[in-house]
Structure 1
């Protein structure tokens, strides 16, 4: 059953025959395996072109910056899944990746799309600064957070974000999206009347968009990076399990405030 128009029966990513495998126009065995590293290959797979040295270095830095983030909910979900199903690494990995949404890890996509909006709005506002100010004022009026700004622990500045922005400057990658993020960092604290440092979820999309990464594939960067971190947690979980310890701690930390036993039967629920 077809849904919608489907007349583009093509893929430009890979093909194979009895003698060879072709990926993005390159012979997999003759040109890629043993000739390029995985960061190169990741960029090639997603965009269809080999990265420049600056693009590769920027992507590398982003992947390293976000791969590990401690026992955040997505990691806990993965570890508890493996504790309950030790044979199902794929299930545990999936549990962790499925937990990467708009609050943790996936927030870089939200911030990236917001930065794109700021850059586009700057054409009418006359400057990045004016566009950033107008946008933050609108977010304040709606009582919404500023994507890419603020951190519960690093109030004086997210060191990972600072490092990524410095690398972007060193590589000559920094462009309009980094400019938009920095403008938000300048105007945000004053408008919102609280410390709002640039965070890693803002820095990653800013630098990688300016490096030439497609906005539609922004979430691929933290997903790939966190897959590496999850692999570390799952190996440790298989050797030194804390999944049920975390589960027990949650059970002890949460108090029941529902109806007392028998209330439902008596009609008092």
Structure 2
């Protein structure tokens, strides 16, 4: 990407004048408000065209699946931030979203890139998906890296959200090469990595969304938008009955200091 002056600066998303607002070629007030569901609008905003019925249902299913999973790190960060600054919802929401990285909640992007890489290797080497999946798994094992999209510390016998999303993709006729690659990885991973590694929700979401036509570069937007809804629920509850300082206190009690002692502590000892 060039830095500095650039020629031909354009956006195809939206424009406005004194009388109207145009979004992706549609009049916001005349064509969209009150006439389109948010999932359709989300798809339209990102991709530039309205989704098919199957694409909408698949997106809806993914948003519902990942919106909420209890007091995960991003939720704790958001609730403790709001407890410390009750007037700063935007700061608390930002704290939660910033905590969605490659390990928790935002890992769909990493898994999607891995699945796409497996398929690209299959195409480049003229092999089938199974062979490419096996080669990728062996490379991860040799590098002592985790398999993106597989395994879950809590749902170690199988992530029910992932299973449901894959079933829906099958029913809608959405399942394609990405779902096939994910299933191949899940089939061969236990024997190669030598431990159970069921498909998790962060593996299912990119597989079904990529097969539905969602762009790889915008994958992280799906869990971000979904978790915003979950964070809103937690922040509203936090404003009514706060547990932010309780969580902070519990962390303080559970974590022991093992650094050097002060001169005063040495005297008291």
Q: CA deviation at 1:176?
A: 0.6
How far the C-alpha of 1:141 sits from its partner, in A, is: 0.6
Q: Supply the distance in 1 between the matched residues of 2:216 and 2:14 (Cα, whole angstroms).
A: 22
1:122 corresponds to 2:122: yes
Change (3 A) 1:5 1:138: farther
Equivalent residue, structure 2, for 1:105: 105
**Equivalence for 1:191:** 192
Aligned length: 264
Shift of 1:65: 0.1
SS in structure 1 opposite 2:214? coil
TM-score, normalisation: structure 2:
0.96
Report the Cα distance in structure 2 between the residues aligned to 1:9 and 1:27, rounded to whole angstroms. 23
- In structure 2, C-alpha distance between the alignment counterparts of 1:117 and 1:71, rounded to whole Å: 32
The gaps in structure 2 that reach 5 residues or longer are 265-269
Q: 1:157, CA displacement in angstroms?
A: 1.0
Verify the 8 A CA contact 1:73 1:99 in the aligned structure 2: yes
2:3 matched residue in structure 1: 3
Q: Secondary structure at the match of 1:104?
A: coil
Give me the whole-angstrom Cα distance separating, in 1, the residues matched to 2:217 and 2:126: 25
Q: Distance in 1 between matches of 2:259 and 2:246?
A: 25
1:202-248: per-residue Cα shift (whole Å, max 9, x none)?
Answer: 00000000000000000000000000000000000000100000000
1:262 shift after superposition: 2.0
After TM superposition, the structure 1 = structure 2 runs for residues 16-95 of structure 1, keeping only pairs within 5 Å, are 16-95=16-95
Q: Distance in 2 between matches of 1:205 and 1:262?
A: 55
d(CA) in 1 for partners of 2:51 and 2:181? 24
SS in 2 for 1:34: coil
Instruction: State the 1:5 CA deviation.
Output: 5.1
Conserved 8 A contact 1:185-1:198: yes
Q: State the shift of 1:8 in Å.
A: 2.6
Structure 1, unaligned stretches of length 5 or more?
264-269
The 8 Å contact of residues 125 and 131 in structure 1, kept in 2 or not, is answered as no
Distance 2:16 2:82 in 1: 36
Contact 1:150 1:196 in 2 (8 A): yes
Please give the TM-score of this superposition, normalised by the length of structure 1. Answer: 0.96
Question: How far apart are the structure 2 equivalents of 1:256 and 1:242?
Answer: 24
Paired residues of 1:176 and 1:210 also in contact (CA < 8 A): yes
- The residue that corresponds to 1:267 in the other structure is none
Consecutive aligned runs of 4 or more in structure 1 exceeding 2 Å deviation? 2-5
- Which whole-Å CA distance do the structure 2 matches of 1:196 and 1:261 have between them? 47
